[in-house]
Amino acid sequence: MISTRGDLHRHDEIAESLSAVRSTIPPTCTLIVVTKTFPSSDVKILYQLGERNFGENRDEEGSAKALELPADAIWHFQGQIQSKKIRSIVNWADYIHSLDEVSHAKKISERCHELGNSIKTFIQINLDNADALSQEKSSRGGISPDQLDQFTDSIVGLPGIEIVGVMAVAPLGQDPEPAFERLAQLSRQLQGKIPSATSISAGMSNDYEIALQYGATHIRIGSSILGRREGHL
Ligand SMILES: *Cc1c(COP(=O)(O)O)cnc(C)c1O
């Protein structure tokens, strides 16, 4: 797999940044390497280095990469869900982190039923403050925190959907600490309804150490391991 000089350089580069990140996270926490926008050759290097959990935001990209990696790779879909992509997403993703609409949950459930499988799902919560929510409503995913009980009740019985916990992205340009603290509260609230839903998907390259302090069980790290992405994803 590693044949050219360039690949060797990339292997060493990824190995170095990966071990730096790995040294700061406890073994009980699941590291998801967010490979969106990076080529599958990078994912293969990560796989060789022992990583198994990969995060993708787009169906086309995730499904193509999943085909190129061994079957024991675990794929996390964490992008905005589009209704027409659900059939495909369920084919390759093992986890969905970004569930925030009951209609999507129903579609996912129907599709899982057809395939005879199930998918692990986080409920995404929008932790932007109320002002930011009204200004920039469409830009970020997630239900609002006060919808959590009602949302959970609407999806809890759906076959094929295993609700594993809550997910959030900290508000842009603000102290992430209050957001992660709130997410920990919401996790306890969810566990009141679903005791097994103990997972917390929180923390990215620039805030994961704080997320860990507030109980993150799944952290999603891209740029600290793979470098800067082109564009805005
Ligand atoms: C891109 C992305 C990440 C990774 O972000 P980095 O800052 O590169 O670590 C994590 N979570 C979500 C939902 C993302 O879209």
pLDDT, tens digit (0-9, with 9 covering 90-100), for 177-226: 999 999 999 999 999 999 999 999 999 999 999 999 999 999 999 999 99
pTM of the model: 0.94
pLDDT, the chain, mean: 93
Say how many Å lie between the CA of residue 154 and the centre of ligand 1: 28
Q: Is 34 in the pocket of ligand 1 (CB under 6 A)?
A: yes
Q: Is 204 in the pocket of ligand 1 (CB under 6 A)?
A: yes
For 97-114, what is the mean pLDDT?
A: 97
Ligand 1 atom nearest to 223, measured from its CA: 8
| Percent share of the chain, pLDDT over 70 | 92
Q: Is 78 in the pocket of ligand 1 (CB under 6 A)?
A: yes
* Alpha helix (H) residue ranges in the chain: 5-22, 40-48, 59-68, 86-92, 102-115, 130-135, 148-155, 177-193, 208-213, 223-226
| pLDDT bracket for residue 138 (50, 70, 90) | very low
For 156-184, what is the mean pLDDT?
A: 96
